[in-house]
Amino acid sequence: MTLVLTPEELDEVKRKQKDDIDLPLYFNSGTEQFQAISRDFESFLILSKPSVLNSAKEWLSNVTELNKKNAERDSILNSAFDFEREDAIDTQSEALTWIATFEEFKKNFRVDNKFSDVVEVGFIMQDLEFFVGEHQINEERFNHLDILNDILQIKHQKDQTTPELQKQLDSWSQPLSAFL
């Protein structure tokens, strides 16, 4: 892109323009390499008021501080995700054990024999099935929580600042300072 500058702006840029070898560098997190700023960006920096460049440096500093705080938060949140996942898996396992044990009990209780019409036998089974039903609901609920937890953890990890992105943020200070 070629900028269209006024004659006065063009004169100022030409006076303050750096040689190619002296152009400030910034880290590109996409290529993971340092590269020289463009001539258009150099013009922007030359023509910007020092207060604007200082403000940008301040914002970069604030974001860096926030990223440090967020790194601590992210670590705690990742631990919470891990704990929730372990809890969901343990609860599912416990529920499945109860359900399997109850199914075995039902086979041995012989509700299909000649006593299956006895009212109290039906009441006992009804009461027990109510209790086991809670475990069936818990198993399904914690299975869904486990899946939801995985989705949230993946999204959270994608939203975290990478070391490369932090390096890129930190690298902008040099170009901004070069024209103050």
pLDDT of residue 75: 82
Model pLDDT, residue 145: 84
What pLDDT, on the 0 to 100 scale, is given for residue 175?
95
Rounded mean pLDDT for each run of 10 residues along the chain, 180 residues in total: 86 95 94 95 95 95 86 83 87 89 83 74 85 85 85 78 87 93
pLDDT for 170 equals: 92
Predicted local confidence at residue 48, as pLDDT: 95
Of 127, 128, 137, nearest to 101 by C-alpha is 128
| One-character DSSP codes across 110-134 | TTTSTTTT-HHHHHHHHHHHHHHHH
Nearest to 59 by CA among 151, 176, 180, 161: 176
